[in-house]
Amino acid sequence: MEIKSFEDVADFCTYIQSYRRPAILKNFPVGSCLERWKDPCYLQEKLEDKVAKIHKVEKELADQMDFRTKNFQYQSLPMADLIQHVFHPRDDHQFAYYLRWVGEDPRGQSKANFHLDFPSLAQDFQLPPELFFPDERFFSSVLRISSEQIRVWTHYDVMDNMYVQIVGTKQVIMWAPHEALNMYLESDKSKVVDLNDPDLSLKFPKFSKAIQHKGTLGPGDILFIPALWFHNMKATSAGVAINVFWTNLDPDLYDKKDPYGNKDLLPAAKASRMLDNVWHQLDSLPDEYRDFYGRQLIARLENKCLTKKDVTE
């Protein structure tokens, strides 16, 4: 299923507000970054004083990065070197690189804010927030730089966000929240890493039932990612993007100690802890009985869940 695309801003905003489904706004004028950032030398000059914390992965694993098994390395790298590796890789270089800027103090409570974190580039990028969310709802804006073929693991976010592609192209695959039981989740991430050849016979048989929503992003395209929608991005060329997160629900529902904006909502996190305690109540039973009553609990939870499917348009 293709993600719906729009050329008109008003139609795009009306659609996402009415249906809360992914949508792509094509060729939006986000500023001089669309021309200036195509030049790696410009980025190197503007960012020469910055050091980035990056993911470094062997090229052969670039489209199967896995946060669970950590098949990549964390590394600190001058931004000028990162840009060189991403946009002008040597033929004999064996690694690909991915940057998700986490702010100046990733272990503290600071949140990524592109315009504050990168003042030398701030004037190049403009995304009028009034088109998409009230200014007081802003949470963070994250700079991303990707080598060609980098695929970021499938996950969901608890906030709405706009993903703005500035340089390069990406393939997008998304799944609706109601597909959760088919996604083989571990926390907010899917265990299905190899999307080219997932093990549907043994490990992930239900994954084939999950309906995919696909799209392509080019420079100036903006993807609306609603909260809880699973998404997977693959860089089909070296590129730069910025995504902007905001709190679409009551701010008190979010974990205030979460600088990245990806922790589950407080009631959901509490329910998960309570479920762990409920499960431990069965520990004293023999295996057959524990299995039986565990399945009863699963059935009760499934009956409580919404079963309405998205309407195909």
Q: What is the pLDDT of residues 63-106, one digit of tens each?
A: 999 998 999 999 999 999 999 999 999 888 899 999 999 876 65
* Mean pLDDT, rounded, for 106-131: 84
Q: Tell me the percentage of the chain whose pLDDT exceeds 70.
A: 96
11 half-sphere exposure, CB direction, 13 A CA radius = 9
Mean pLDDT over the full length of the chain: 92
Lowest mean pLDDT among 128-132, 180-184, 194-198, 273-277: 128-132
pLDDT score for 92: 80
Q: With 60 as the cut, is the pLDDT of residue 261 above it?
A: yes
- Position 243 scores a pLDDT of 95
What pLDDT is stored for residue 103 in this prediction? 75
Instruction: Give the C-alpha separation, 10 to 13, whole Å.
Output: 5
Model confidence pLDDT, tens digit, residues 160-216: 999 999 999 999 999 999 999 999 999 899 999 999 999 999 999 999 999 999 999
pLDDT class for 310, splitting at 50, 70, 90?
very low
Q: Give the mean model confidence (pLDDT) for residues 17-32.
A: 96
Check residue 102 and give its pLDDT: 84
Position 311 scores a pLDDT of 42
- Predicted local confidence at residue 106, as pLDDT: 53
pTM of the model: 0.93
